[in-house]
Amino acid sequence: MIHISKKNQHNSDSSLKRGKIILITIYLGLLAITVRLFYWQIVKGDSLQQQAENQYRRSVTLTGNRGSIYTSDGYTLVTNKRVYTLFVQPQILDQNPEQVSKLLSPILLNEIDEYAEASDSATKEEIAKSYEEQLLIKLENINSRWISLKTNLSEETKKQIESLEINALGFDPHLQRYYPEASMAAHVTGFVGKDEDGNDIGYFGLEGALENELKARSSKNTVITDALGLQLSDQNIEDSNLIDGRNITTTLRRDVQFLLEEEIEGGVKKYGAKSGEAIVMEPKTGKILGLAAYPDYSQSEFYKTDSQFHKNPSLSDLYEPGSTFKAITVSAGIEEGVIQPDIQCIKCDGPRQFGKYTIRTWNNEYNPNITIEEGLAKSDNTAMIFVAEKIGIDKYKSYLEKFGIGEEIGIDLQEDRSTPFPDQWGEVKLATTSFGQGVVVNTLQLIRAIGAIANGGIMMKPMIVDSVKNTATGEVIENTPTQVRRVISKESADTVTKMLITAAQHGEAQWIASKTYAVAGKTGTSQVVTENGYDNEKTIASFIGFTPPEDPKYIMIIKLVEPTQSPWAAETAAPLWYKIANKLNLLLNVFPESFD
């Protein structure tokens, strides 16, 4: 008979209890794990998945090419070039940061304006030392995953840095506006800057006016990144659905534009003027072949120039045109039938008195019974008052409106807008407006108005865009010449043209008139208007003319603001006009002709 001791039985019971406890603990542990797994995978699963994706995925915005801008003869004014942002990943840099900064600094300094423009070696050394220290601070910042070191690097600089074989450096490519013709036509093209959100946007000129045509469409893409948040190198994020901006072909001719820019800058400097403008337009089509203003600016470095120079002065700057406006007054009189070129002025023997106001001629000389044709040639204010009075205030106002005074041009430049139309009409207002005082225009308004005379009485809408091309489809939309309205009859226009030929040959600027080419033109000298009235010491000198008069190839206006060598247009703007015209005639195949 076998006996089991109480002690052994007790030990067995204790082992059984411990086993049960361990088993229960294991079951409870498994239950806890199951509950936690259920919680994380089912309850919090979507949230965790999103967090994981956020860690290893990021959005990248791709943008197509912004549209390019061309001259009518196929030269590129504005396009895009690829540039790079140099960045460093300090956390994986395996070279001495100080050594890296010494290698990078001399390469990057070549793309820093401040260094390039420094005038002495001491300043260059100071800039170089400071820049190297700034690089070192960034390279030693091991708490950062990604730090930009320099933006807008050229392809050449990128290759130089790549040859250093520094493991933690990388490049982000992007497009930047590029100007193959340097600053040519800056006041026409405008420039690309940033909006409040840091996105590219066009300002001024074509870039501003045609932003919706030029801008490219963007696309967002998701890429996989590594633990440092950097894009994995084996991914291709090109997007075939990106839409490039449309290309713009202007009406500008490169040779004409270059000529105008060169000559207007030279003219401003020669005559000591504050600024100057030159515009060449085809009267038959309204196409602007050249539009230049000085001072100008560099579109790629617009931030270095005062913003006042960014606007196109031919649209934004208003001025009293002076005697060039007399061609409009005479045209209205001829069309209305109240005068003829040979009619005599019976109120031109002295100053005209209107209450407390006395109006004189520009030189205080008077010609009793002068004909209207002679009055236009001599730029006689009293003769123009005589014409305007015959027309009458209401009719005269309607002619100004027909000639587009106060009316916006309708051109594809951002600065285009309407201008003030003369108000509070009375006998004094009528008198002063007749010779171009007390009325303001911009330069494009005036060339449009006189261009109507050159075009047989029909006003054409000035054009700066010749065509727009959709790069995706290849579709080209042509911009066709547009007639605004008939202003005066063909007969009236021909009569006024002959009077302007006389004005060019026998007026104040007759000494410079061409002996080879017939020109229909008129000078204009007006005083500068200030807050305190007219400045007797400052003038705006201009000359507007077209050739050949019977079938004009072009009309051109030259305007000089505050010339100091001489205040008179006959001694500044007119000589510059003829100098440019002599060269322009060769470019546009205007042949010499015989005339008396």
pLDDT at 240 over 60: no
Q: According to the per-residue pLDDT averaged within each range, which of 195-199, 500-504, 528-532 is highest?
A: 500-504
User: CATH homologous superfamily of domain 56-75+181-250?
Assistant: Penicillin-binding protein 2a (Domain 2) (3.90.1310.10)
Residue pLDDT, tens place only, 524-569: 999 998 888 899 899 999 999 999 999 999 999 999 999 999 999 9
Long-range own/partner contacts, residues 488-493 (CB < 8 A, 24 or more apart): 488/331, 488/332, 488/334, 488/335, 488/402, 488/452, 488/453, 488/457, 489/335, 489/457, 490/456, 490/457, 492/331, 492/334, 492/335, 492/457, 493/331, 493/452, 493/453, 493/454, 493/455, 493/456, 493/457
| Average pLDDT of span 217-239 | 53
Residue pLDDT, tens place only, 371-393: 999 999 999 999 999 999 999 99
Residue 113's pLDDT is 83
Q: Pick the residue with more confidence: 405 or 172?
A: 405
| Average pLDDT of span 190-219 | 92
Report helix, strand and coil shares of the chain as percent, to nearest 5.
Answer: 40, 25, 35
Using a 10 angstrom Cβ sphere, with 0-12 exposed, 13-18 middle and 19 or more buried, the burial of residue 512 is: middle
For residues 309 and 515, the answer to whether their CB atoms sit within 8 Å is no
Q: What band does 58 get if pLDDT is binned at 50, 70 and 90?
A: very low
For residues 214 and 470, the answer to whether their CB atoms sit within 8 Å is no
How many residues belong to the chain?
596
**Residue position matching structure tokens 């990078």:** 104
CA dihedral 493, 391, 385, 558 (to 10 degrees): -30
pLDDT at 282 over 60: yes
Residue 62's pLDDT is 61
The class that CATH gives domain 254-302+315-468+480-587 is: alpha beta
Q: Can you give the pTM of this predicted structure?
A: 0.85
Residue pLDDT, tens place only, 62-85: 668 999 999 999 999 999 999 999
- What one-letter code names the amino acid at 371? T
| Average pLDDT of span 326-330 | 98
Q: Which two tokens stand for residue 563?
A: 């010339």
Domains 56-75+181-250 and 82-178 share a fold: no
Which CATH code is given to the segment(s) 82-178? 3.30.70
| Average pLDDT of span 99-128 | 89
Distance CA 524, CA 543 (A): 6
Residue 217's pLDDT is 76
Q: Which residues contact 70 (CB under 8 A, 6 or more apart)?
A: 76, 77, 247, 248, 249, 250
Quick one: what percent of the chain has pLDDT higher than 90?
75
Q: Which residues contact 532 (CB under 8 A, 6 or more apart)?
A: none
Residue pLDDT, tens place only, 423-457: 999 999 999 999 999 999 999 999 999 999 999 99
Q: What band does 115 get if pLDDT is binned at 50, 70 and 90?
A: confident
**Residue position matching structure tokens 């015959």:** 390
Q: According to the per-residue pLDDT averaged within each range, which of 187-201, 228-242, 391-405 is highest?
A: 391-405
Domain segments of the chain: what residues?
A: 56-75+181-250, 82-178, 254-302+315-468+480-587
Residue pLDDT, tens place only, 2-51: 454 555 555 566 666 666 777 777 777 777 677 666 665 665 556 555 55
Question: What mean pLDDT is reported for the chain?
Answer: 90
